[in-house]
Amino acid sequence: MITLSVIIVSYNVKNYLEQALVSVQKALSGISHEIFVVDNASTDGSAAVVKEKFPGVMLIENEKNTGFARANNIAVKRAAGEYISLLNPDTIVQEDTFSILLEAFSTYPEAGMVGCKILNEDGSLQLSCRRSFPTPWVSLTRMLGLSKMFPNSRLFARYNMTYLDADNIEEVDAVSGSFMTIRREILETVGFLDERFFMYGEDLDWCYRIKQAGWKILYYPKTSIIHFKGKSASEKDWNQIKLFHKAMVIFAEKHLRHSGIITPLWLLKTAVRIKAVLTYIRRKALR
């Protein structure tokens, strides 16, 4: 039986994809595995590089950009591994990354999903590697800047849980979609990624459903990866900003409508849209 299936969805990041695959193959040494690359109709020759340099990788070529969730689901449905890792193409994993995460699943049988420490290109911690669900309070403290003003506060800094020691193993609400590993068996009760999320938010939604099903989400910093954040999607592009904030609206409609939260849904959606416009204006001003 295959122990681990690694899935990478790629879109026009040929050079990053190549270095990611080199690191993944080294890290999978000694582990029964399979690797999928789902190419979302790249125009930079990504698929050709996979065919030429990584013949053992199972390449799936989509005729159009189907989005992150749908592309991952195509490979997840074919995956045979006992565990499944979803990995962004703009990453580099350590040689011990997969073996340590498999160790985590053995040590914590209640964990349905595990994520590790994620570092920026300069070696600093990528804050999104452990976070809380975007409830009205969590979102408000983020929008008002309180989470940055009081990074050590459990009351105000829940968005990225910056009050936690980055080197401690913790149960969290969610880990980053740039690298998440699940037990295959959770698919039987939780299902696949929600394809209503084109990009962004599908990871939060999956984590939410996994926790609702009684599993734990584990932040396991005994290993780390580097994530060249923003290389697989231009973060300054208005379309990307809209996609991110649309994902937050979908999440709110899906999970907060009947959660007992007293904040009106229309107010949450309005706040999210205002935040999108302010984000775009701020980034334009910084150019």
Tell me the two tokens of residue 200: 């962004």
Proportion of the chain above pLDDT 70, given as a percent:
83
Q: What are the Cα distances from residue 258, in Å, to 31, 136, 255?
A: 43, 13, 7
- Residue 124 pLDDT: 97
Q: Token pair for residue 89?
A: 């193409």
Confidence class of residue 177 from pLDDT cuts 50, 70 and 90? very high
- In this predicted structure, the answer to whether residue 163 has a pLDDT above a threshold of 90 is yes
- Rounded to 10 deg, the angle between the 97-107 and 14-27 helix axes is 60
Collapsing DSSP states into helix, strand and coil, what is residue 164? coil
The rounded distance, in Å, linking the Cα atoms of 39 and 37 is 6
**pLDDT, tens digit, 9 for 90 and up, residues 22-38:** 999 999 999 999 999 99
The DSSP-derived string for 88-144 is -SSEEE-TTHHHHHHHHHHH-TTEEEEEEEEE-TTS-B-GGGSB----HHHHHHHHT
Query: Domain residue spans in the chain?
Result: 234-287
pTM of this structure: 0.86
Give residue 254's pLDDT. Answer: 77
Q: Which residue has the higher pLDDT, 242 or 158?
A: 158
pLDDT of residue 237: 72
What percentage of the chain reaches a pLDDT higher than 90? 72
CA-CA distance, 246 to 244, in Å (whole number)?
5
